Amino acid sequence: MNIRFRGWRLALSLFSGLALALAFPNYNLPLLGWVSLAGLLFASLGAGVGHAALCGFLYGAVFYTVSLSWVYTVLRQYGPLPLWQAAGVMGLLVAAASLFCALFAVAVAWMAGRSTRLTLLAAPFLWVALELGRSRLPDIGFPWNLLGYTAAGNLALVQIAAVTGIYGLSLLVAAYNALLVWTLCAPSSGARRRATAFWLASTAALAAVALLGGRLVPQAQSTHVAHLVQTNLPQALDYPANWDALHAEDMAELEAISISAGRIRTGSSAEDQPGLIIWPEVPAPFSLQQPGFAQRVARIAQAAHTNFLFGEVDWKPAAGGRPTPYNSAALLGPSGREEFLYDKIYLVPFSEYVPWRDFLWFAGDLTGLIGDFGFGMHYAVGELPGGRFSVVICYEAVFPDHVRQFVRNGAGLLINISNDGWFGHTSAPAQHLAQARVRAVENRRWLLRDTNNGFTVSVDPYGRVVARLAPYIRGRLDAPYGFREDRTLFTRWGDWVAWLSVVLSVCLLIAALRYRPKISALRTP
């Protein structure tokens, strides 16, 4: 293979990785997700294993660097790390994630030396199996921007997630990409005609569902209204001892907004029931162990005669008696007494704790700045008038199997509190919302999402954003919601599509061993 042809493959991989990045917010060109993987497949088919590994790695490196550029912004702005250290941590994340793309390309290249048809049949399952692997890595599992999210913005297509979870959408998009490649390079004219006819029929069916299927999605009926307060408090690396005095006006305004919201009643059925006020994941030095804050939140709950859910840092004694902070959500009843507490289970790597601290010599400043939060252990479910609820905090909303555990435990409502203020004006808040929205569909639950400065929304069980508050303002969203008790197939079976993809990938790789290596018959330029 000559150098020019090698360069062509590498260029295609780079442009294909960029195309996939542009399918996600804030670029919002989701149709590119339906062709991006085809570029990597085409570059890998017929290539040597080493060359395919490079193609896959470059594909992933471009995709993750562009779509996750906000990671570097956070590290530089809020680390705050010097340029080279922020670049080192960012590079480590990109390299680790890109290895999965490289493994995919290597498997495709190896199988293509035996059977092109078998390779393209296996490719969608291989991709989903590797997505599952990336999501389940110990300590640094990172299921952010999975391929299926490029289709999840469509109201009709996202309903598949109630059966298959997000991995079913990834499988659908990957399969379409594989079919496109087979259409372009099938080895005979007859095979090309059949593949083209099937591709055209598949494209027409997908387009019809995407354009018209949304009309068939039911309208969810809400029975309650929650008051989501977007606090819009400034981010800070540390908080002075006199923070309360410096922000007295801010806190007085938030207290007034909350009390006035809590006194609102919607309909006669709500008159005798306490309402619900929600504040976001802790955006400031909030803790019930601090008398001033504890008195304020109790006063809000009592004055509004309502349930009040908010994020706080909860301190608990650890081994040796040393106090350990937990990123928590607490609910006060109308009496002002604590009735529910949830400690965050999935902490954010390099933000709430540092994995592999002893090995990250180049991130010394980061390991010194980040406080180690304790890991929660229980999938807590609380009680509200009308039903049961659970809270997922910030980053936890991107873990499908994690969220479904709350529903399996009896949650009829999901509440996601987050402080996306750390992301600044980057694409991360929009990407975060797009992923949290799918959790509502997967489990057929209302999702109330309250953030410090955006995006604060109410999502119905079919994925519609039915109410939203403008970002970067302080205010209140009157968010409709309801409780449900039904369970989807995804809630019952979890990531079954992903695990099935693992099994089928292994079976198809074994099947490829039956074929003797041969020169690929692909039609390539």
Average pLDDT of the segment spanning 467-478: 95
Helix (H) or strand (E) holding 332, with range, is strand 323-332
Residue 76 pLDDT greater than 80, yes or no: no
Distance (Å, whole) CA 103 – CA 96: 11
Residue 522 pLDDT greater than 90, yes or no: no
Residue 268 pLDDT greater than 70, yes or no: no
Residue 85 pLDDT greater than 80, yes or no: no
Cα 237–Cα 240–Cα 243 angle in degrees, nearest 5: 105
Residue 370 pLDDT greater than 80, yes or no: no
**One-letter-per-residue 3-state SS of 232-257:** CCCCCCCCCCCHHHHCHHHHHHHHHH
Q: Which of 19-23, 192-196, 315-319, 505-509 has the lowest mean pLDDT?
A: 315-319
Q: Which of 87-91, 299-303, 467-471, 497-501 has the lowest mean pLDDT?
A: 87-91
Q: Which of 351-360, 420-429, 461-470, 488-497 has the lowest mean pLDDT?
A: 351-360
pLDDT band (50, 70, 90) for residue 302: very high
> Furthest-apart CA pair in the chain: how many Å?
78
Q: Which residues contact 238 (CB under 8 A, 6 or more apart)?
A: none
Per-residue pLDDT, 520: 47
Q: Please give the radius of gyration of the chain, using alpha carbons only, rounded to the nearest integer.
A: 25
Distance (Å, whole) CA 27 – CA 170: 19
Amino acid letter, 489: L
Per-residue pLDDT, 140: 76
pLDDT band (50, 70, 90) for residue 269: very low
Cis peptide bond N-terminal to 455, omega within 30 = yes
Average pLDDT of the chain to the nearest whole number: 89
281 is catalytic: yes
Q: Which of 61-70, 180-189, 221-230 has the lowest mean pLDDT?
A: 180-189
pLDDT band (50, 70, 90) for residue 35: very high
Per-residue pLDDT, 298: 96
312 is catalytic: no
Tens-place pLDDT, residues 386-423: 999 999 999 999 999 999 999 999 999 999 999 988 78
Percent above pLDDT 70 for the chain: 91
Per-residue pLDDT, 238: 72
Per-residue pLDDT, 516: 72
Residue 1 pLDDT greater than 80, yes or no: no
pLDDT band (50, 70, 90) for residue 472: very high
Residue 5 pLDDT greater than 80, yes or no: no
Per-residue pLDDT, 2: 44
Residue 361 pLDDT greater than 70, yes or no: no
Per-residue pLDDT, 235: 78
pLDDT band (50, 70, 90) for residue 259: very high
- What predicted TM-score, i.e. pTM, was given to this entire model? 0.92
Q: Are 451 and 418 in contact (CB under 8 A)?
A: yes
Q: Which of 55, 131, 281, 442 is catalytic?
A: 281
Residue 209 pLDDT greater than 80, yes or no: yes
Residue 369 pLDDT greater than 60, yes or no: no
Average pLDDT of the segment spanning 40-57: 94
Average pLDDT of the segment spanning 503-522: 80
Q: Which of 101, 352, 394, 442 is catalytic?
A: 394
pLDDT band (50, 70, 90) for residue 371: low
Cis peptide bond N-terminal to 26, omega within 30 = yes
Q: Assign residue 230 a region: left if phi > 0, alpha if psi is -120 to 50, beta otherwise? A: beta
Q: Which of 312, 344, 352, 396 is catalytic?
A: 344
DSSP symbols for 495-517: SHHHHHHHHHHHHHHHHHTTSPP
